Structure 1
Amino acid sequence: MSGAGTETGAKAAHPVEPTDPVDPVREGTAPPRNAGRRRRNRTILVVAAVTVVAAVAAAGGLGLGGGEEKPPSAPPRAGSTVAVARTSLVERTSVEGTLGYGAEIPLPVKATGTVTWLPEPGTTAERGDTLLRVDDRPVVLLYGTLPMYRELGMTAATPPPDTTGTTNPPASGGAGGTDGGADGATTGGTTGGKGTSTGTDAPPPSPPPQPMRGMDVLQFESNLAALGYTGFTVDEKFTSGTERAVERWQKTLGLPATGRVGLGDVIYSTGRVRLGQAGVRLGGPAGENTLTYTGTSRKVVVNASAAEASWAVRGTELTVKLPDGTPVKGRVASVGRQATAPGGDGGTGGGGAPTVPVTITLADQRALGRLESGPVTVEYVGRKRENVLAVPVAALVALAEGGHGLETTDGRFVTARTGLFADGLVEVGGPAVREGLKVRIPQ
């Protein structure tokens, strides 16, 4: 009995698989084949498990996993920070303008006759140049502000009273031109005594011409001297010296040397002129609309809104941007006093707001290059705020309760009152807004 029980326990402790007999292992020999296969299988299973874990982890990282995961934390707030700064703000406004020489004005041509020569449009004329020819006589440009209103030359003196044919007063005691004789005969023209007639005496010689005087004489003599004609004193008297100088000038022009300047021989302007379009053709009669002119300096004309033209004050400095973007300094020279609607009805109707012409001069003509006309942009200063707190406009945030605010670097929001907007900045204020405060610019 005891021998049988011991055997049974050994079997339980060492069960034998009938389908998998185990060969005895000899010392110093390789393990059996089946054992090595099992080890290799276990190694493959371990590697496969590691691969699956890695794949699952990768899928979870790409958001492909299906299991519950902790949501990612919120990313940090993006954006830069700036400090509230104290500065000056200037509001600039742009309007459209036109570059050119200005409106053409008719020349005050006073010569009468037939137009026999005209210049090319765009020709520049200066002192002493011929503007046009009337009856083949040159009309010359001179400089001055006083228009030509009379002929210039020596004036004839007032002749003495005419005493030809008068008699001397009768002698004492006589009457009626008689010598008081008994026969009452007249003695006029018969004797050389008292009461004789002077009707046969020669008239006295005429007095010499007298100098003409006036400011127009001074203006003309100044031009004559500037052209190189001398021999007279530049003053308000047209003397014989002036007359001789005029004769030399007339010979140069191919005119008869009369020494006198006709009313239509000269046209005055304040300086050089640029001649425009002619109002008549060759062979037509001369008149006030015969030829137009402008100044030689290029300028800008802006048709400014009459309701918003407070910036247009004579002498105001501004910036003109040429078509290529080049900035040029300008200055308001004149402002029209009559508003005109776009339809040209004087502001009484039309489809647009009335405008006034504003003329802007450009001191640096060289900066314009060869550009003579074209559209330009005029920038002028509107409002200006000095010594105020400001931040970039992008730093403003809209508050839920209304208005604007600023976000500080620690995430707080402070209320900010806004003022002038200019050059990408905005004026700000408020109890919590101070110079140097760091605020965030959201992205």
Structure 2
Amino acid sequence: MTVAPETTGGARPASREKRRRPGRTGAVVAVAVVLLAGGVIVVTDPFAAGPVASSSQSAAATGLAKVTTTTLSARSVENGTLGFAGGCQVVNNAGGRVTALPAVGDVVAQGGTLYKVDGKPVVLLQGGVPLYRALSWGMSGPDVQQLNAALVALGYASGLDSASDFFSGRTYRALTKLQKAVGLTETGQLALDQAVFVPVGEARVTKVNAVTGSAAPNGGTLLEVSSTQRVVTLAVNARRQSSIEVGDRVTISLPDGKTTPGAVTSVGKVATEQGDEGSGDATVEVLVTPSEPAATGRLDKAPVQVSIVSETVADVLAVPVNALLAVAGGGYAVEVVEKDGQHRVVPVTTGLFDDDEGEVEVSGRGLAAGQDVVVPAS
């Protein structure tokens, strides 16, 4: 219950981007006047003899709430975009006519056919190094190592070391098994037009740059893909970068009105200017990973809101925010109702405001968990 003071001051301060626990001294003046709907409460030297009884009762409809010991959190709300993590272009190395293409939204797993040229499949394999040369027995290098790792992951290799960067006899035999499974000629050599390496083991098609029957753009971008991992991307004002950390808990508000939990997984270190140079509108990219990806649905590039927990305090006394009384000259108090029905005003120092819970951290002489405090009637 917030009541306007007789003189200036006493209003709740504007919410901060990241609240810090204030100091515990100097919060209440020695002589303060609190106006209630039905009369005046005078608090005289609250630090000398403790809280004093109120001089009158409020005529306004009121109720009671408990002082509790609890955990509170401060949050900030950011606009974001829900989509899929990662993104890369698929460069085609096969010459001929495109005879089969996936559709946007299709998911192709490692070892599956991504598209076809002249009826021949081009296989998706996981790896960060593009297929820039044909691979065969006796060769070595990081591209061979990722081929070995892919063959092991697909279950085609027996006794093959996934960390080996050497194209061995085991690699040869495993590769022929893969070629047979997808319908390629079993040569035991990986030609440039037979596969593409992408950084993800399961690719979701995000863009198709060709149509069936068209000439395959040799060396051109035929498709664009992403991972299937759900992610929310935020563009946060660079001035707030230090207030957000990897691991911060969040609540994601989805387009259908539902919410789902998540956590900050990346905070950018390079700012991007959004307006005129020097305007102060620079932002950094913050990535949030949902804890329950299935709950986010399948929408791509969907607008969402993310509530980030930027600070938490545990085992503190708390009251509903509307239990606060603004004290003339600044500060706050609460009206405590004793078991015998007597009312007294207790000056308090406020700490963290939890807007989601509608509660505020308080401390004050004579204040304890379990006490009743006056709040406006609901």
TM-score (norm 2): 0.68
Q: Which residue of 2 aligns with 1:319?
A: 251
Give the conservation status (yes or no) of the 8 Å contact 1:127–1:272: yes
CA distance in 2, matches of 1:331, 1:228: 34
CA distance in 2, matches of 1:334, 1:143: 23
Check 1:226–1:284 CA distance in 2 against 1; reply closer, same or farther (3 A cut).
closer
Q: Which residue of 2 aligns with 1:272?
A: 202
Give the conservation status (yes or no) of the 8 Å contact 1:115–1:286: no
CA distance in 1, matches of 2:178, 2:368: 78
Check 1:396–1:262 CA distance in 2 against 1; reply closer, same or farther (3 A cut).
same
CA distance in 2, matches of 1:398, 1:261: 76
1:294-326 C-alpha deviation (Å, 9 max, x unpaired): 111332112222211335433333221222332
Partner SS for 2:256? coil
From 259, 263, 267, the equivalent of 2:188 is 259
Runs of 5+ in structure 1 lacking a partner?
1-73, 155-210
Check 1:300–1:152 CA distance in 2 against 1; reply closer, same or farther (3 A cut).
same
Give the conservation status (yes or no) of the 8 Å contact 2:205–2:223: yes
Superposed displacement of residue 334, structure 1: 2.4
Give the conservation status (yes or no) of the 8 Å contact 2:111–2:125: yes
CA distance in 1, matches of 2:59, 2:143: 85
Partner SS for 1:212? coil
Superposed displacement of residue 293, structure 1: 0.6
Q: Which residue of 1 aligns with 2:160?
A: 234
1:22-48 C-alpha deviation (Å, 9 max, x unpaired): xxxxxxxxxxxxxxxxxxxxxxxxxxx
Give the conservation status (yes or no) of the 8 Å contact 2:172–2:189: yes
Partner SS for 2:72? strand
Superposed displacement of residue 396, structure 1: 1.6
Superposed displacement of residue 355, structure 1: 1.6
Partner SS for 1:290? strand
Check 1:317–1:264 CA distance in 2 against 1; reply closer, same or farther (3 A cut).
farther
Check 1:136–1:404 CA distance in 2 against 1; reply closer, same or farther (3 A cut).
same
CA distance in 1, matches of 2:257, 2:72: 23
From 384, 391, 395, the equivalent of 2:323 is 395
Higher strand share: 2
Runs of 5+ in structure 2 lacking a partner?
1-56
1:377-436 C-alpha deviation (Å, 9 max, x unpaired): 212212222232222222222234543222344354332222222121222233354445
Superposed displacement of residue 339, structure 1: 1.8
Give the conservation status (yes or no) of the 8 Å contact 2:335–2:374: yes
Q: Which residue of 2 aligns with 1:386?
A: 314
Check 1:218–1:285 CA distance in 2 against 1; reply closer, same or farther (3 A cut).
closer
1:93-112 C-alpha deviation (Å, 9 max, x unpaired): 222222222464212x2615
Give the conservation status (yes or no) of the 8 Å contact 2:248–2:309: no
Q: Which residue of 1 aligns with 2:79?
A: 96
CA distance in 1, matches of 2:155, 2:315: 60
Check 1:286–1:314 CA distance in 2 against 1; reply closer, same or farther (3 A cut).
farther
Partner SS for 1:310? helix
Q: Which residue of 2 aligns with 1:426?
A: 360
Higher helix share: 1
Calculate percent identity across the aligned residue pairs: 38
The structure showing larger relative contact order (alpha-carbon pairs under 8 Å, at least 6 residues apart) is 2
RMSD (Å) for aligned C-alpha atoms: 3.3
Check 1:421–1:97 CA distance in 2 against 1; reply closer, same or farther (3 A cut).
same
How many residues of Structure 1 are paired with residues of Structure 2 in the alignment? 308
Residue 339 (str. 1) matches residue 310 (str. 2): no
Structure number with bigger Rg: 1
CA distance in 1, matches of 2:321, 2:58: 25
Give the conservation status (yes or no) of the 8 Å contact 2:92–2:221: no
**Paired AA for residue 263 in structure 2:** R
